[in-house]
A and B are shown apart, each in its own frame.
Chain A
Amino acid sequence: MKKSVFLGALTIAGLAATASVASTLDDVKARGKLNCGVSTGLVGFAAPDANGRWNGFDVAVCRAVAAAVLGDSDAVNFVPTTGKTRFTALASGEVDMLARNTTWTFTRDVDLKFEFVGVNYYDGQGFMVPKSLGVSSAKELDGATVCIQTGTTTELNLADYFRSNNMSYEPVPIETNAEAQQQFLAGACDTLTTDASGLAATRAAFENPDDFVVLPEIISKEPLGPLVRHGDNQWGDIVRWVLNGLISAEELGITSANVDELAKGTNNPEINRMLGTEGNLGEMLGLDKEWLIRAIKVAGNYGEIFEANIGEKTPLGLSRGLNAQWTEGGLIYSPPFR
């Protein structure tokens, strides 16, 4: 009797070990919810509002994917992850995708076995200091105490930057953005460093944002984008083309306001292909014809999402800069829908 129970347990465990091979798309559909890893709270990019509803630039990507796959932009479990836990969460299958200010690097792509599906924000690392410190350039920071979020590329850039400029510094490693903010405001560090967009978001949340200034030096390239696990190409394609769809929609003038109108058919074959009135791009992805219409309807195209969350009219006040469409001198560029 005992033996049979033991063997039975072994068999069940063996089955459980092999059951995780099913495709992510099937898993998400069966679950009816998309598990999306976001940051633990960065105003403008991913933060819950007063009603507990997640909002932001990165959150919009999650919602667009959920709308395309499940038809409901609210069918998302937002999983807050720190710089340290994000990759483990994705690799272990706890989340289906990560939309969380994550820099696309060689080792993360190749060695950690992730698939960056594109770039939704071209960023670079900067420094923020209190105005009262009287510092106007990062080159004057020799000997400063620097708050950094541990487990990020900024930690490595910082070491390289100070080393190559023959300057010394005192790193204060910090787990989350909220703690970094607290230590910085208390004066436990002279300067806070992270991606320039993150600095703008942090500064916007301060009581007196005008007492702080972001230094002009950008010391690294930080292409931020959503990512998925290696190996499930179908799922990777879905996330990639939802993102590309939002970008192309801005380029072609499809907005949340006119998408229903355009979905009835237009003279532009590319718009028709995107919105499913021509061809069967949706089916190729394993989705239906209206996938991109739903994704665009959630919060509009890339430009609309940018303006609503982090653009010049928001407290963050980020200009498009590098993140303008390629047609307007920026780097945002989607491959054609064909």
Chain B
Amino acid sequence: MTTMTDPPRESFRLSMLLYDSRYRSMTIQIIVLMGFMLGAAWLINNAVQNLAEAGKTFSFRFMSEPSGYDINQRLIDYSSRSTHARAAVVGILNTLLVALMGCIAATVLGVILGILRLSKNWMVSRLAAVYVEAMRNVPVLLWIVLTMAIMVEFMPAPREFRGEEPEARMYLFDSVAITNRGVYIPEPKFANGLGDIPVAISLRSEGCESYLEGGELADSCGLFQISLDLWLIIAVLLAGIFTAKLNVKRANRIQAATGERPNTLWVNLAVIILPTLAVLWYLGFYLDKPELKGFNFRGGIHMRNSLIALWLALSLYTAAFIAEIVRAGILAIPKGQSEAAAALGLRQGKIMRLVILPQAWRVIFPPLISQFLNLTKNSSLAIAVGYMDVTGTLGGITLNQTGREMETVLLLMLVYLVISLSISSVMNAYNRRNALKER
């Protein structure tokens, strides 16, 4: 029989916080944390004190007052009587618009360039290399300003389209006009459309009164309005695509059972396109062409040259980085893969499309996310060409007219933070789903 003796109980002494390695790391961490919090508290206190000294209060009440200024590009209804908050929303939507357009264009262009850089054709790969080096080694602001200058200086003014023998002509059956104020393209419209429905109606707003009583819908009703026509078309299109997928499944089944695959292409095209065309015909679809009336072109969609300059420059610039990412991703796939594919008799194009890119995609995707984030944040350079993004409305004119630097800049940072975090969380979720599952 052995007797168990408790190990001698050490009493806790204060010096152990410093000399006992079990506690030391914790002590250091707590001290660092306290120091950090003290620093932060001092900064905040300093700001509050200085604001008070300058006689300024910290308040967001100005956001609900009329902004008093107009914005040229607005995706939702807005006038100079709308609030500063609404001006900020208009700006946010403009930021998102250019970011989305930029991300799509940059990805398409970047993938093509990345593949071209690996081309065995000396000329092609050198040209792609020159493009990449030229674009990414010059600050994006300069590209934006340069594109804008080209638009303004070299494109014809609207008045040059006038007269019997105009100096400038429209393109594509007189439906597209490229001017130094932007590009006018035809706008899809519906002769007997279903109208719009307002979202987030506020009963207090004036615009909604007649609508709620069954009358006409004013533009100013609701937070924003959704086009029913668009939803109908999207629904029909999705239904068509779903049917086509069922058809493909059926073809797979038949192929598995009999070894012969029925032709799916024509059926699929028919179920996707025919119903959509029928809906378009029912809604009375037509294209509204821009026409020169008064000072400017009227009708159609006006893509302002600020939007085009920003969009082009951001996409061309980011595409150079994406091209490098794509090239690195493709090179990361072992050579054996393409050799094996070639041994199976696949052609170059098919090897790239079916074997290399699907695997490379997993390598490409994570750095691609950070390029999308960069592009979105770089869109704040819009102010250089007067594009009214959120930095231009909330962080520009609102800041200036109200003099609330602290509040507007904090809000602005919050907006970009939320946009960036949303993009990266969506992209990361997609990446997790597609990443190689290792067990």
Contact = CB atoms under 8 A, between A and B. Distances in A.
A256 interface: no
Interface stretch (B46-54, B110-118, B125-133, B170-178): B46-54
The 10 closest A-B pairs by CB, nearest first: A187-B157, A151-B400, A159-B80, A112-B403, A143-B294, A173-B386, A156-B68, A144-B295, A188-B152, A186-B152
Contacts of A111: 402-403
A25 B265 CA distance: 84
A151 B79 CA distance: 17
B401 A156 contact: yes
B181 interface: yes
Interface residues of A, number: 47
Nearest to A151: B400
Contact of A142 (B54, B180, B294): B294
Interface of B: 35, 38, 42, 46, 49-50, 54-56, 68-72, 79-81, 152-153, 157, 159, 180-181, 293-296, 298, 305-306, 383-384, 386, 388, 392, 396-397, 399-403, 405
Given A84-B396, A151-B400, A187-B157, A172 B54 contact: no
A187 B68 CA distance: 26
Nearest to A132: B159
Contacts of A156: 68-69, 80, 401
Contacts, number: 110
Nearest to B395: A84
A145 B69 contact: no
**Most central of B42, B69, B296 by chain A CB within 10 Å:** B69
B159 A159 contact: no
Contact of A10 (B42, B50, B79): B42
Contacts of B152: 182-183, 186, 188
A257 to B, nearest CB: 43
Nearest to B160: A187
A145 B295 contact: yes
Nearest to A6: B35
Interface of A: 6, 10, 13-14, 17, 83-84, 87-88, 91, 107-108, 111-113, 132-133, 141-145, 150-151, 155-156, 158-160, 162-163, 169-175, 182-183, 186-190, 230-231
A143 B72 CA distance: 12
Nearest to B39: A10
Contacts of B400: 83-84, 87, 150-151
Given A143-B296, A188-B180, A150 B46 contact: no
Contacts of B42: 10, 13-14
Contacts of B153: 186
Contacts of B305: 188
Given A17-B46, A183-B152, A91 B70 contact: no
A294 to B, nearest CB: 32
A170 B72 CA distance: 6
B403 A187 contact: no
A204 to B, nearest CB: 23
B124 to A, nearest CB: 37
